[in-house]
Amino acid sequence: MKLVILSLMFLIAMPMFAASNGQETTAKGINTQEARIKAELEKRLNTAIIYLLASNFNDPSYLAKYKSLVKDSEGDLSVKALRKALNDASVLLENARFINPRQAVLCSREDFQNGVCFAPSCTPCIFDKPGPLGTGLLCRKEESSEQLQACCVSDGGAPCEVFDDHSRLKNSELFE
C-alpha cells in the first residue's frame, strides 16, 4: 500500500517538477519547448521553399538540389533534420535571385531585430550568432563586387526590406 501511494505521489509530482525546471510537457509527454522550436523551424523552412520557388539560380545544378530539398522536407521531420534542411536551404538561397528583380521580402522591424528575416541572395557572413537559418547572420554580395552589404534594409534596393509595423494599414482600411 505504501508503495502504491509513493508511486502515485511520484506520478503527481513529476509534472510539477518538470514544469518547475522549465521542461513543460503536454498531455502526451511532448516537451512544449521542443514543439515550439520544431514549429518555428518548419515555418522558416516552408518560407525558404516558397522564396526559392520564386527565384532563379546562378547555377542550373541548384534546381536539382531545390527539388531534392522539397522532397526531403515532406513529412514529419525531427528538429535535427529540420536544422539540416535549413542549412541546405541557406546554400540554395545564397545562390538564388528573385525572378522579378523588383520583388523583395517585407520584414517588420520587430522580426528584423529578432533576426528572423531572410531572402534569396542573402549569404551567411557573421557566424557568432545563428541567424534566421542557423548558418549565421546574413549579408548580401553586390553582383558588381565582392563587397558585403546588409541583406535587409529599410530604404529599398535589397532583396529584404524592413518596414515599421505602425505604418501598415489595417484590413478594414484597405477594404472599405
Place of cell 514549429: 39
pLDDT band of 25, cuts 50, 70, 90: low
The residues near 160 (Cβ < 8 Å, ≥ 6 apart) are 104, 105, 107, 117, 118, 119, 122, 151, 152, 153
Domain that holds residue 117: 33-168
Give the range with max mean pLDDT: 47-56, 101-110, 120-129, 144-153.
47-56
- Name the domain count of the chain: 1
Place of cell 545564397: 94
In a domain, 99, yes or no: yes
Q: Quote the pLDDT of residue 4.
A: 35
Report the alpha-carbon distance of residue 41 to residue 85 in Å, rounded: 9
Q: Which of 137, 114, 133 is nearest to 124 (CA)?
A: 137
Report the alpha-carbon distance of residue 6 to residue 1 in Å, rounded: 9
pLDDT band of 19, cuts 50, 70, 90: very low
In a domain, 110, yes or no: yes
- The model's pTM is 0.75
Residue 3 CA: distances (Å) to CA of 8, 9, 59:
9, 10, 67
Q: Which three cell numbers stand for residue 26?
A: 503536454
Please write the tens of the pLDDT for every residue from 29-48.
Answer: 568 899 999 999 999 999 99
Q: Which three cell numbers stand for residue 11?
A: 506520478
In a domain, 145, yes or no: yes
In a domain, 27, yes or no: no
In a domain, 45, yes or no: yes
Answer whether residue 53 shows pLDDT above 90: yes
| DSSP 8-state secondary structure symbol assigned to residue 167 | G
In a domain, 6, yes or no: no
Residues 117-138 have a mean pLDDT of 91
Report the alpha-carbon distance of residue 174 to residue 167 in Å, rounded: 13
Q: Which of 113, 125, 126 is nearest to 163 (CA)?
A: 113
In a domain, 23, yes or no: no
By CB atoms closer than 10 A (0-12, 13-18, 19+), residue 111 is middle
In a domain, 28, yes or no: no
pLDDT band of 113, cuts 50, 70, 90: confident
